[in-house]
Amino acid sequence: MTPTTLPTGFAETAVVSGLTGPTAMEFSPDGRLFALEQAGNVKLVRGDGTTWTALQLSTDASGERGLLGIAFDPNYAANHYVYVYYTSTVSGPVSWASGVHNQISRFTVNDSNLQQPTFTNEAPILDLNSLSATNHNGGAIHFGTDGMLYAAVGDNVQTYVQGGGTYRVSQTLSNLLGKQLRIDVSKFNQGVATRDDTTVGHLIPSDNPFVGTAAGINQLIYALGLRNPFTFAVQPGSGVQYINDVGEVTWEEIDRGVAGANYGWSGGSTDGFGQAPPGPGTYQDPVLAYNHTGGPAGGGIAIVGGAFYNPASPQFPGVYAGKYFYGDLGGNWIRVFDPAHPSSTANPDTSQAFATGTAGSPRDIKVDAAGSLYYLAGDGGVIRKISYSPSPGDAGFERPSAGPAGADGSYIYRPTGSAWTFAGDAGVTANGSGFTRGNPAAPQGAQVAFLQGDSGSTITQTVSGWTAGDYQLTFLAAQRANWQASAQDFDVLIDGVLVATIQPTDATYRAYSTSSFTVAAGSHTIAFRGRNSRGGDNTAFLDDIQLRLA
């Protein structure tokens, strides 16, 4: 796996590979990860990297059609309902959905075996308008904090005529394409509403913005003027929604979901800022737009993913709290946007870089309850996880310099000028010194730390930026090979609490780790402390000290 370039302290690990044509992913309320494949499969991604097919749908997967969206019911623990958005090849029971069309259906999940769930008992809820083109389907569905199901629908490149002009159907209230919809599925689940129910107060919430203005099922419209909103996200707590609308020639947009908004797309080059729409609703500029060429992002072709960083247990540094992460299908990057600093016509992209060189063709982004960020990519059908651990400074003990390697004097007791503080018989030494001449070269750089004697000898560092969670400390250690009377032991402590006692096996550098320990957010002190003074030149060497999530 080619490493992704990430900020200091972040690391990427593989979750799964081999998904075929992946389109989206979602965490169930109990923390399991499900991935969608365009051809109709819903797959549980297990912790060991294997998958289980929970559903196989018959769908039209040509072009951008197929299985596109998934949402778990807010009351999933009680009802086990899940909803999917997919392209059906069977005409719906209504006039607007003849032939191939997208639809939203409810399934009931059989969770008798949590590692082998099955989606059963399909119950169609809503049929969208008949399709002509194979692209611009949208497809994301999520529940808002108001309990309503929101759906992002593409314009399918369909047009209509108004006042002598031809526009995309995104600008008309006469169909559901190119819109964000707001649906009350609870009424369907209670048996009050039926499939494609046009009664206000059933599937159609009575407070939808175009109730009484639009007709029939089109009163589900919550916002309009969208081109191809393939993904969107809902911020936990606030309920703020950001819609990622894939642009035409120049701009990719992030739009804030607002009741009655019109985002301006009507065809041609009407994406980006300042696009007065010909249709109804209140025009709203994007909160961010990036150019297909140049700009801070360096270009892109289609905005994807999108997740607010507000997990139940934050893991990333506090500066990321409430920020919005998004990616690009062709840019192979993930950027982060601060909602407190929206963009403008003069400064359309106020985002900052986060990850570059990601797995190719990113499709979706999610944040789990433990605060890790996941992204789904088409190349290789992979999901990767990005986690954060604080990192001690000068983990390889290269500062200060102990002198030229190979010189007998190339060691220093109690040096200053390092991120570490040394006390007693502790310090740094270089390759080939009188201390290390019988040992292999330092695993990292040209220097290692040494520790002799009892508890009066310590190597310590206070590290900031920890988030609350479970961690382990890993490091390389060896015994001194020459003039060693007996083995040197040492303790490892976090904030004065013992987490490991280590006696390196021999003069070869080997990997060691502490037991898992739990810390609160803030700053914490790492300490290595001598454990005995059995005489002679007993010495243990340390190198490459790292922190990682347990």
> Is 428 in contact with 402 (CB distance < 8 Å)?
yes
**Which residue spans within 169-225 are E strands per DSSP?**
179-183, 221-224
Map tokens 């990860």 to a residue.
33
SS3 content of the chain, % helix, strand, coil (to 5): 5, 45, 55
Report DSSP letters for 236-265, one per residue.
TTT--EEEEE--SSSEEEEEE--TTEE---
- What's the rounded Cα separation, in Å, for the pair 147 and 265? 28
DSSP 455: T
Q: Which helix (H) or strand (E) holds 77?
A: helix 76-79
DSSP 39: T
Cβ within 8 Å of residue 190, ≥6 positions away: none
Residue-by-residue pLDDT tens, the chain, 550 positions: 677 999 988 989 999 999 999 999 999 999 999 999 999 999 999 999 999 999 999 999 999 999 999 999 999 999 999 999 999 999 999 999 999 999 999 999 999 999 999 999 999 999 999 999 999 999 999 999 999 999 999 999 999 999 999 999 999 999 999 999 999 999 999 999 999 999 999 999 999 999 999 999 999 999 999 999 999 999 999 999 999 999 998 999 999 999 999 999 999 999 999 999 999 999 999 999 999 999 999 999 999 999 999 999 888 888 899 999 999 999 999 999 999 999 999 999 999 999 999 999 999 999 999 899 999 999 999 999 999 888 899 999 999 999 888 888 899 999 999 999 999 999 999 999 988 999 999 999 999 999 998 889 999 999 987 877 889 999 999 999 987 878 999 999 999 999 999 999 999 999 999 999 999 888 999 999 999 766 667 899 999 999 887 7
Of 308, 356, 309, which is closest to residue 328 (Cα–Cα)?
A: 356
Kindly list the structural domains of the chain, giving each domain's residue range(s) and its CATH number in brackets, ordered by start.
10-388 (2.120.10.30), 411-549 (2.60.120.260)
Classify 52 as helix, strand or coil: strand
> Is 355 in contact with 5 (CB distance < 8 Å)?
yes
Cβ within 8 Å of residue 292, ≥6 positions away: 247, 249, 250, 251, 252, 299, 300, 301
Q: How many residues does the chain have?
A: 550
- What's the rounded Cα separation, in Å, for the pair 355 and 4? 7
Structure tokens that stand for 160 in this block: 């209509």
